[in-house]
Structure 1
């Protein structure tokens, strides 16, 4: 209902939509602010999820490089004896 009311407010204006729906214009403004905040939060969460995935890939690469380096160190330590 809120999404439809906000879509109507976008089409005909907040005051006209409020009159048509029997609401106060301030209610539509509050709904719009909450919807915008939710959208911004969703965008931020997506950004954080992308960053998290990138960091996980980077950690996996670094862990693999460390394991290879340790194996090489053991190999060369044995060959020095």
Structure 2
């Protein structure tokens, strides 16, 4: 296989919620194109962040905290569902046994 043909997987940059908030404030003051150029990010990223903040009405930090809480609740729910299933099986087993 030719080494020139092997494509390197593109890594996706991630930004902190604080960076996003600061970038949006800069874009509000100086405009999206200027802010994107100054920060070295794409204009589409800034427009996307701005749209997401408008839709949710929350800061990115609040969104991240809410997502973490949702993930924790889903894990707890899955654990509790497993416990309920186990208890149902145990109850059915003991109900069948003669006294």
Count how many residue pairs are aligned between Structure 1 and Structure 2: 56
Gaps of 5+ in 1: 1-5, 23-27, 74-81
Q: Which residue of 2 aligns with 1:46?
A: 74
**Deviation readout 1:2-37 (Å, 9 max, x if unpaired):** xxxx99x65xxx533212135xxxxx9x82221111
Q: Which residue of 2 aligns with 1:37?
A: 65
CA RMSD of aligned residues (A): 2.7
Work out which structure has the larger RCO, using CA pairs closer than 8 Å and 6 or more positions apart in sequence.
Answer: 2
Q: Which residue of 2 aligns with 1:56?
A: 84
Q: In 2, Cα distance between the equivalents of 1:16 and 1:56?
A: 47
> Structure 2-normalised TM-score?
0.46
Give the 4+ runs in structure 1 shifted more than 2 A. Answer: 14-17
Higher helix content, 1 or 2 = 1
Q: In 1, Cα distance between the equivalents of 2:77 and 2:63?
A: 21
Q: In 2, Cα distance between the equivalents of 1:47 and 1:40?
A: 11
Give the structure with higher Rg (CA).
Answer: 1
1:19 aligns with 2:14: no
Q: In 2, Cα distance between the equivalents of 1:39 and 1:16?
A: 21
